[in-house]
């Protein structure tokens, strides 16, 4: 099952990252791992794979990367899927997280990290079926994520997190 495929990909220490940042990113990766391995979410993923008729052998592994992936335009990449390497999930930057805490407080920032990880994994799983149809993948990601968030057994995210997550 997907559960056994989710692991943190340890990265070599980055010289340009301060010790404080390094420990932030390690904590972030652990939170993502715990979030994605939660039985409730795993059950949801099993349902999603069945419903979309996606062969789970297409997903070799789900790698949680410790450090952000900076795109050319300065934005960070949330995740990617590759036939040979499976799914990778990247964190938001420390600076982004600090800003979120300042604006909305710890609870929202924490919840955002968890929701972003879930939405990213849903998004990349959908890519294994719809490959480069980005628009369709985005539409379905939002639909499935909203469905998961509605489950009364999930923590209350508040609409603020969804708004930050799916803006634009």
Under the rule (CB under 5 A), what is the footprint of Zn ion?
134
CB of 156 to Zn ion, least distance (A): 27
Distances from the Cα of 104 to the Cα of 11, 101, 111, 118, 146, angstroms? 30, 5, 11, 20, 21
CB of 134 to Zn ion, least distance (A): 5
CB of 87 to Zn ion, least distance (A): 11
Distances from the Cα of 7 to the Cα of 14, 41, 63, 118, 154, angstroms? 20, 16, 5, 14, 22
Closest to Zn ion by CB, 134 vs 151, is 134
Nearest CA to 38 among 120, 117, 156?
A: 117
Closest to Zn ion by CB, 32 vs 109, is 32
CB of 12 to Zn ion, least distance (A): 27
DSSP state of 18: -
Closest to Zn ion by CB, 104 vs 142, is 142
The span from the CA of 114 to the CA of 109, in Å, is 9
Closest to Zn ion by CB, 23 vs 131, is 131
């Amino acid at each position: 099952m997907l559960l056994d495929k989710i692991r943190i990909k340890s990265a070599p220490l980055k010289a340009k990252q301060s010790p404080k940042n390094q420990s932030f990113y390690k904590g972030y990766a652990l939170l993502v791992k715990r979030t994605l391995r939660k039985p409730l979410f795993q059950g949801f993923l099993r349902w999603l794979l069945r419903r979309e008729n996606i062969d789970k052998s297409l997903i070799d592994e789900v790698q949680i990367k410790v450090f952000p992936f900076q795109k050319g335009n300065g934005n960070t990449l949330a995740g990617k899927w590759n036939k040979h390497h499976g799914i990778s999930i990247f964190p938001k930057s420390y600076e982004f997280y600090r800003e979120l805490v300042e604006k909305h407080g710890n609870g929202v920032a924490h919840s955002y990290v968890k929701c972003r990880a879930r939405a990213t994994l849903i998004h990349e799983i959908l890519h294994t079926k719809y490959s480069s149809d980005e628009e369709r993948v985005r539409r379905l990601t939002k639909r499935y994520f909203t469905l998961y968030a509605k489950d009364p057994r999930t923590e209350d995210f508040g609409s603020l997190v969804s708004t930050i997550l799916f803006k634009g």
